[in-house]
Amino acid sequence: MKITIIAEGWIQSVEYRAFVKRVANQLGLRGLVRNLPDGRIEVFCEGALSKINKLLKMMNYRGRKGDALSAYVESLSVYREGEKGYRGPWKEYGAFDVDYGFEIQSPVDRALIENLESGTLYVTSSRDEFGLLKDEFSMFRKETNKNFETMEEKYGSISEEIKKMRATFEKLVDAYIKRQK
C-alpha cells in the first residue's frame, strides 16, 4: 500500500522527521519525509497496511504543547494511492529517508547530519521521559505525605501515649539509680 501523510502542529525544528524515519525503518517501511514551507511535514510511505497503521499511531505524538523542544502533532491527514490528496513520492527513494531539501554529496555528510538529528532527538525524548518521571515522583511524594497524615490521624494518640510512657519510665530509672547509690 502507498500513502501520503500530512502532519500538522509543532513538528518542525523538534527532530520529528528523524523520529518518523526511525519508526518507519524499524517497521520495515519504505518512503520519504520532508518539511513543507508552511510548517507541515509530508510523508510518503509504502508497505503493509498493519505497519503503516503502527507508524500513524506513533506519528500522532503529543508532547508538551507550546514547549519549544517537544513535538506536538495536532492532526494527521492520510491519503491512499488513488484518492484525492495523494501525492506519491516526490523523488526516488530506497529504504526510508529524510529529504532535507538539498542534495547531500557524501555519505559522511549524510551520516553527520543524521547523527546530529538523532542525537537531538535522543536528548529531546530523554527530556520528555524525565518530565514523566518528575510527575511520577511528585505523585509519589503527595501519596506518601497523605499516608503519613493518615497514620498521624490514626496513630497520633498512640504516639503521645508512648511519649508519656517513656517519660514515666525515665523517671522510674532515675529514681532506681538514686536508690542504688
Active site residues: 17, 35
Q: Is 31 left (phi over 0), alpha (psi -120 to 50) or beta?
A: left
165 secondary structure, DSSP code: H
Of 88, 108, 118, nearest in space to 19 by CA: 118
Give Cβ neighbours of residue 121 (< 8 Å, ≥ 6 apart): 15, 18, 19, 22
The Cα–Cα gap between 89 and 121 comes to: 25
The Cα–Cα gap between 131 and 122 comes to: 14
Tell me the one-letter amino acid at 149: E
